Amino acid sequence: MTPRRLCRPSKLRLTRSMDEAYAAAHRVVAEWPLEPTRIERVSQSENIVFRVDCTDDTIYVLRLHRPGYHSFDELVSEQAWTSALRDAGLGAPRALYTSAGERYALTRVGDEQRYAGVLEWVDGDTMLDLIDSSIDDDYVAQRYMELGRLIAALHNQATGWSLPAGFCRHHLDHHGLMGDQPFWGRFWESGALNDDEQQWCASLRERIYPLLEAYGKRPKTYSLIHADLHPGNVIVHGTNLHIIDFDDSGFGWHLYDLAVAVMPYRNDSDFEANRDALLEGYRELRPLDEADAAMLPLFIVVRALAQIGWIAARPEFDGDSLHSTARAYAQINAEQVIRDLERSNLGANLA
């Protein structure tokens, strides 16, 4: 999960000297068949990410992965999926193997051991930047239609792909999102919440959990998902769309990907138009029943709560603004959304 406007990063409080990170980057990049001329840090959220310019004018991305977030097998599985997505014609990260033929190398940043990986650099603008720089509502809606088609294509590949032996990623199901130990942390215990807010979030969790459990993990609605496919994680170069940042990818509901996509603009006056454009684009390539689409508001609330947990688990990140926005959205929308679904015959509607 990456911070944003809801896509844009806030100011980072770096808990470790960037000198250590740069030293680690310079050491570990020697494991790859590269001749760097410049190594520059470009971002830090889950990972510390560097741009690596080389003597032959090629550019790469060096990622120092957050320790403890994924196992080695999970990181290898991420690359297996992105390779399969490329084989299916989607723009996805292409990894570069080390000189020894390995996918990753180990390095240390201070007293932390991190896996390092190298990807090819992709030129272009983020879809988020293009949307934010436009004042044309029709242009923005068109971008959301493109995003909907892109998400549908990803889900089509995921549901038709036979997982290779040893493939493993986390599950963002009712346990992984609303269980006792959610993947992104116990959001209802966030120190940014007061006592009343913590109790309210705990109550929300208890009510959302059975709704997600009842929704079920049907093959047509639950598979591998990106889990962070907002406009800031799509690179646009001409007519080509390239998906980046698969750190959060795992098994989950397709609606979660759609909820993530529309969250950045959920408080905008044209939110409904952009949401409808997203769903229209999605349905061009993949069916989405009305009963399933009716669950989208719940998954937007789930995403807002997950962001609270994500921020609380990362004290190095200054996410006060993002935290407040996610909390406010959940407070405004959650009660009505959950009440409506509790009153509905959820199982019958989704049979």
Contact (Cβ atoms closer than 8 angstroms) between residue 213 and residue 302: no
How many angstroms separate the CA atoms of 127 and 236, rounded?
A: 6
Comparing C-alpha atoms, which of 199, 190, 220, 144 is closest to residue 314? 190
Query: Which position has the token pair 């609606």?
Result: 255
pLDDT tens string for the chain (351 positions)? 654 443 333 334 444 478 899 999 999 999 999 999 999 999 887 789 999 999 999 999 999 999 999 999 999 999 999 999 999 999 999 999 999 999 999 999 988 999 999 999 999 999 999 999 998 999 999 999 999 999 999 999 999 999 999 999 999 999 999 999 999 999 999 887 888 888 988 999 999 999 999 999 999 999 999 999 999 999 999 999 999 999 999 999 999 999 999 987 777 888 999 999 999 999 999 999 999 999 999 999 899 889 888 877 765 555 555 556 556 556 556 666 777 666 665 544 554
Largest CA distance in the chain: 63
pTM listed for this prediction: 0.89
Question: What is the C-alpha separation between 41 and 234, in angstroms, rounded?
Answer: 20
Domains identified in the chain and CATH numbers = 18-120 (3.30.200.20), 125-349 (3.90.1200.10)
CB 72 within 8 A of CB 65: no
Q: How far apart are CA 293 and CA 221, in angstroms?
A: 11
